[in-house]
Amino acid sequence: MSKRPIVAEDFMKLKYLGDPQISPDGKKIVFTVKTVDSEKNRYLSHLWLADVESGEVRPFTFGEVSDASPRWSPDGRRIAFLRTKEKRTQIWIIPADGGEAFQLTKLDEGSFSSLAWSPDGQKLAFAFRPTHPDWTQDAIKKREETKRSNPPRVITRMNYRLDGFGFLDMRQHIWVCDALTGHAQQITNGDYDDHDLAWSPDGKSIAFVSNRSADPDDRPYIDQDIWVVSATGGALRRLPAPIGTKHSLSWYRDQIAYLASDDREDPWVPRHTRLWVVAADGRSDARCLTLSLDRTLGHTTLTDTQEAFTGGSLPLWSADGQKLFFLVSDQGNTHCYSVTLDGRAPTALTHGALNVVSASADASARRFALLISQPTRPAEVFLGSLDGAALSLRPLTQLNEAFLSEVQISEPEEVWFSSQDGTKLQGWLLKPPHFDPKKKYPLLLYVHGGPHAQYGNAFFHEFQYHAARGYIVFYTNPRGSTGREERFASAIRGDWGNLDFQDVMAAADYAAALPYVDPQRMAIAGGSYGGYMTNWVVGHTDRFKCAITDRSVVNLLSDFGTCDFPGTIDGYWAGDAWERIEPRWNQSPLKYVKNIKTPLLIIHSEGDLRCPIEQAEQLFIALKRLKREVVFVRYPRETSHGLSRSGPPDLRLDRLQRIADWLDQHL
């Protein structure tokens, strides 16, 4: 049977796997599977179970729910997870050998994270942020019934909202609940946010991350510390660790491993995330174990088949506590590494063109559950068996195999080329399935967001879709990207539109010189920072026939106070937004809007808090006043910055079709 081309609707047929957790005995793996219910225009997520020995893979939970964050009890007999049902989330438990899941907690409406069992299996700890009483579903429904208006929000903090979440009206704290009764107790308090918890091995204490400085909103991600509190609450104890962002705590005996960035100046400063350990008793300073590894830790590869910046997973301890396992972003890939406690010679355990999205280990740390995405395959669950200095990989799931067997998939070709100053750059060319080297094809150049992220060897439906429609799709990692040396990522700090622009244009030059590319039919597109760079490019060259700017940055002055990450004075950018405005204004695409002659499609979401829609509004009105060809597609408030990855299915489809129509119209 001949295979068909990929179409826009195909993202609704994919199964999106996530969060594989291997049982303590290494015999089973529980993971999540998200699917699209196209009839009701929604996502559903359930737990699935894979038997390592028999290879059996089966669904484990059912219903019109979204299940997430499965966690094995220490004895492997129960699985705790978060279930969202009718827009309310609680902790549920299901027996590992089957049976009916039951709701454990009955807390007020709110959001949960960092779910973790106590070592004895008698309690569960989690971070919880309650919904403000004015904005619970019941309160909103009551106002609607009585025809009352929504109340005002009184804002006194800088960090009062977050894209994809909304308003942070209430603080997030650490809670502990009984694993049998569900009785829950809040063990931290105060006008602070607490997150990323880890139990002590004896179950008596909990470590967590929090900014408890005099002004937590001034530098919310920088002045973070690791704190320890009794599992029943009480006084806090701070551990000595360098300033900077911290997350992903993992406690073994008398030491806590964690991931951190030395970003003391600004959370946007592209400093590598590294692996650290600190004594749990606080009697010695933290030590960095990956100083010799000039790569950032975690999974930073962007794709539309996973949420952006998932991070990867916790550092994983070996059974004897002499080694740690972690993920590293490297030239478009994410690999599993190990390092000994002396920090010598971090070692790659996986190799090749793939992205390890997340990982967990059994009690022996000899078997691993890995979620792996490949260039021609969406992420699936693999078993990793530690064999000396390598992980031997065996696929356990093939949930997207039926889909892949019916569609034509293009294999990306990795290329390296030089920028104007000789810097070597990495990219991938995706050709149409029935590519004819004698033909001339139109080309679509994509610029990724971040900017401190990377494109790479992961399945990308949108790219495959445009290739199937007869386009050469070219996606690259210009300076500012992760996956390379720290100086490569930091080269554009406070200097957007310079070296990165040179690199993007070098990619255009490289593509135009290919014998099968029509240099007169080239387009550029990008989202977030990629949208910024698209705006910058068309404001500085007429090279492209058309452009698509998605959830973009246009004016760095107004972005200072409207982004959900409030701007800092003399941080990533020099100056401020009211007096010393030149650095930000000179790097704002809006300053050069009069130069834009390229037909531009603007895509933006009203619910975007990362790059608020006022950015798109400024660009659109300026171009209309200048009588330029521009179309503004404005998606409703129920969408956010992540529309292309997790937005309502019908609007994701609409977006893809509008991009395709724009390209066809002009190319």
The answer for residues whose C-beta is within 8 angstroms of residue 594's C-beta and 6 or more apart is: 626
Return d(Cα 48, Cα 74) in angstroms, integer.
Answer: 19
Q: Number of helices (H) and strands (E) in the chain: give both, helices first.
A: 11, 38
Q: Give the tokens for residue 262.
A: 């030395």
* CA separation, residue 271 to residues 241, 261, 263 (Å): 17, 6, 6
E strand or H helix at 438, and its extent? none
Contact 451, 531 (CB under 8 A): no
* CA separation, residue 629 to residues 410, 546, 666 (Å): 33, 10, 11
Return d(Cα 497, Cα 489) in angstroms, integer.
Answer: 14
Contact 358, 299 (CB under 8 A): yes
Which member of 205, 210, 358, 528 is catalytic? 528
| Residue 448 appears among annotated catalytic residues | no
Could you please report the per-residue DSSP string of 186-244?
E---SSS-EEEEEE-TTSSEEEEEE--SS-TTTSTTTS-EEEEEETT---EEE----SS
Return d(Cα 661, Cα 667) in angstroms, integer.
Answer: 10
Measured N-to-C along each axis, helices 461-468 and 649-666 cross at an angle, to the nearest 10 degrees, of 40
Which member of 272, 335, 461, 641 is catalytic? 641
Which of 322, 323, 293, 327 is CA-nearest to residue 309?
A: 327
| Residue 335 appears among annotated catalytic residues | no
E strand or H helix at 360, and its extent? strand 355-361
Q: Give the tokens for residue 410.
A: 């293009």
Contact 260, 245 (CB under 8 A): yes
- Provide the terminal-to-terminal Cα distance of the chain, rounded to the nearest Å: 32
Q: Which residues are catalytic?
A: 528, 641
